[in-house]
Chains A and B, each alone.
Chain A
Amino acid sequence: MSAASLLRRLAPPALIAAAALAAIAHPPGRHPAPPEDAPCPADATALLGGLSVGDDLGGWRVAATHAPRERALAVDVARAGVAATVEIVRRGARPGEPPRRTARYDLFYRNAPAVTCEALVPALDALARRVAAHEAGPVPDGL
């Protein structure tokens, strides 16, 4: 077999290997997840209208705001020993009907089992109003 013929045979798998290596080095969907206790970055805080720990959200106290993880921006709220987490995701990014939505975002909640959606509605409404007022800006990184 000539060298040219051998090269022609080896070129396709070699090119695929190179492409795979390039994609491994720069994965197309990789958004490095921040650590769980990472502070909420400026762009995400802007979407929340500057919300910070201790603020009131419809009778619930903001316990923490987190950096986006797994394409969700989480806000922990608490009231009288009960805690819940409201998550903001881009419209349609998560299956299911969100309890509240704005023009560009869906709001879901994760909760301790005894917290009802009804009890969380004031917090959801207050957060949805904030997001709606600030959603014209750029989508925060990681959402």
Chain B
Amino acid sequence: MLSRLARAAERAGDALLAGRLAPWLLAAGYVAYGLRAVLRDRFLDDEGLLTWIFAAWLRGDPLPTLFFQKCKPVTAALYALPSLGGPRAVLVAHVLVAAAAIPLLARVARARGQRWPNLPAIALALSPLYLVGGPAGISNVDGVVGGVVFLHLYMGAERRLAAGVLLGALPWVRFELAVLVVVFVAYDLLVERRRALLAGALVFPLAYALAGALYHHDPLWWIHYPPSLGGAVPGNPVWDAIHVSPSVAVNALAAVTPLAALALLAPVRRLAGAERAVLAYALANWALILLLPVWRIFNFGYSPRYALQSLPFAALMVGRAVEALAEARARAGETALLVGALAAAWLAARGDGGTAALWVVLGYAAIVLLARASFARGAAVAALALAAAGPLLLHGETQVGREGKTPWLDGVAGWLRAHRGARPIYTNANLLSTALGGDAEVRFLVGTDQWYELTHLANPHNGQRAALERLLRRSFYGRAVLPSELAPASLPPDALLVLVDDVRLPLAMPPTVWAGRTRTLADFHGCTIAELAP
């Protein structure tokens, strides 16, 4: 009886870790979870709504948007058609796109001969950030999907030219992926001594630069109007609040996947061909997302989602690492990794009192213990269990979605539905317009930093900036009001002001102008509803 049970458990473990059906079931589960979240607005997110906004802009006025690099034109083009159905249609499409990467990553791992090819796909599907990011709509997820398709073309299907064409377009999905281009083109040229990837990678940038030169009447437009500011917006107080600590770094990596640190146990000497480039990119991404905000380069703030691009690459290396552990080939590094992980988790807990990272270390210890006790499959199942625990342990560390950032949203929306009547709403709350649905016209107060970016990254000489301003006024978290237009005298006397307590608000509503000009009607701890004082 016992041996029959053991055999059944073995078969179930094999089906989960290596069966061809499991990745598709995972993808189906991801879609079901994501669609349910979209329908309930569970992970509504300001950055996620930007995916819809830019896609709608591209559909509304294609050329100015296409050659406005800030809008991530490749992503905007991908969702232009779904944007016809409004924000939730884009979020549904986003979930489907994200789910498609799950079986594809398993296919890459299988093509590379991994022992448990579903393990990378499991790490992807159950990544706390990926699970939330799909229904939230954040473009970092699209970057991950792009990375997986690239891996499939380059390492799975061995179609290098096509892989190169895609690779060249990826920086216009997420700008951090420029590092991926550098790592793989360098690897392909210098190690493999081939030119196909480089040739392909030049196609999109050259075509885009040439077409843009015709539109902008400027061959160097891509430098004059770059995708991002070179540094911080001057005077933006948000920069004062950015600091990277051990708890921030550890929790960010764990939110990408709790298995992340296991990638360091991938047996470098035994990695075949491009797998070393895969590991190099994952490490380079981790280093950059920690250092860019510290150095204040490219207007990078700090958010765990910036580390998400590493996910499929780290996941493939986790697959290799667990394989090596099970074959007792990574022993030298195991103890060092466990000690290092414990120290990092302890520092993280010391910083914020959280224990999530310590649970992750406990999971690592269990995986190593099982591997050393010669329970190879048990070690892989333990890795699977740790991945599955990730969304429960680390959901709070994703910093994506409304729960952490706007806990007051339902209260404010409920108050407005009950009390606003026909009064116009003016707000700096990005999610309010979507939360209220189509029945309320919301005027969004564009932040001075947002307006600064638009005016510095768009061409004022060929009509692009004016066109983008028209799009902005029509649709940008509501109908936009520019900072220069906001004054007590310019608002309708019955206007309702819904104001989030944001350090940037005094830049748009200077106290010298607004002190004593509003009267508070309701306070939702972090968001105030006010009206103009008589």
Contacts and interface: CB of A to CB of B under 8 A. Distances in A.
Interface string A93-105: 0011000000000
Contacts of B512: 116
Contact of A112 (B352, B364, B528): B528
B241 A95 contact: yes
B194 interface: no
B372 A9 contact: yes
B517 interface: yes
B358 A23 contact: yes
A113 B528 contact: yes
A112 B521 CA distance: 11
A33 to B, nearest CB: 9
Nearest to A1: B374
A113 B428 CA distance: 11
A4 B251 CA distance: 37
B505 A113 contact: yes
Contacts of B506: 113
A17 B349 contact: no
A93 B368 CA distance: 39
Contacts of A30: 349, 353
B334 interface: yes
Interface in B330-365: 334-335, 338-339, 342, 345-346, 349-355, 358-359, 361-362, 364-365
**Number of contact residues on B: which range applies?**
35 or more
B102 to A, nearest CB: 30
Interface in A2-27: 6, 9-10, 12-14, 16-17, 19-21, 23-24, 27
A20 B353 contact: no
Contact of B511 (A6, A9, A16, A114): A114
Interface in B357-398: 358-359, 361-362, 364-366, 368-369, 372-373
Nearest to B497: A113
Given A14-B369, A24-B362, A81 B519 contact: yes
Nearest to B518: A114
A114 B353 contact: no
A15 B522 CA distance: 54
Interface string A71-98: 0000000000111000000000001100
Nearest to B237: A96
Given A30-B349, A30-B353, A95-B240, A114 B514 contact: yes
A31 interface: yes
B365 A16 contact: yes
A10 B369 CA distance: 6
A23 B515 contact: no
A28 B515 CA distance: 44
B520 interface: yes
B192 interface: no
Contacts of B509: 113-114
B501 interface: yes
Interface in B18-54: none
A118 B351 CA distance: 34
Interface of A: 6, 9-10, 12-14, 16-17, 19-21, 23-24, 27-31, 81-83, 95-96, 110-119
Given A24-B362, A96-B237, 7 more contacts: A10-B372, A13-B335, A19-B342, A23-B346, A115-B511, A116-B512, A119-B511
20 contacts: A12-B368, A13-B368, A14-B365, A16-B364, A17-B366, A20-B342, A20-B345, A20-B359, A23-B349, A24-B355, A24-B358, A29-B353, A113-B499, A113-B505, A113-B509, A113-B514, A113-B518, A114-B511, A118-B511, A119-B511
